[in-house]
Amino acid sequence: MEKIRLRKLGLSNLNWLQKHPELKVQKEQEISQALFNDPCWKNAETVAITKPLAFEFDTHILLNRGWQEGKQMLMPITGKNRVLTFHIVTPETIFEKTRFGVEEPQDASVVSDKTIDLIVVPGIVFTHEGFRIGFGGGFYDRFLKHYQGETCSLVFSEQIQENWQVESFDMPVKRLFIS
């Protein structure tokens, strides 16, 4: 119940930020610059991101920068049994909206999780320790349980909520970039 309430609060905060586009863009630029200057980005040859919803961090910034830098860029597809697989995306990739309202790549090559250097993990609510509340499907927690590479999240300060109970299946990200 607590996560349901916090998810609603997080979504409300993100919707508020979306109504203040100048502030949202400023925060996205600050967070992006911090990420681009960090070794987790600089050393990554393969980076996984999600296609954003309107109120989320605009990951197109990362997508375009990654392509400019010659990185292999990936996006997830949600499969049966709540399993994520990551697929190569290019400027020519065609996307299709899922039942969750998220756009996923179509006809894209799957990549082994062992070859992914950095996963930029989405979320709605975060603690400073890297624990997160997403949309409630558990896709990323299941994937991160066995993933050994670098993880980070791009977080607006409006998404930070410290007072909630982390559960045994919650998997933290290693780094947060916050503005």
Q: Which residues are annotated as a binding site for substrate?
A: 56
- Residue set of the binding site for ATP: 3-7, 132-140
Q: In this structure, are residues 151 and 141 in contact, taking their beta carbons and an 8 Å threshold?
A: no
**DSSP string over 15-63:** HHHHT-HHHHHHHHHHHHHHHHTSHHHHT-SEEE--PPPTTS--THHHH
In this structure, which amino acid lies at residue 93? T
Between CA 123 and CA 74, with CA 82 as vertex, the angle to 5 degrees is 60
Nearest to 41 by CA among 64, 66, 68: 66
Query: How many of the other CB atoms lie within 10 Å of CB of 116?
Result: 22
- Residue set of the binding site: 3-7, 56, 132-140
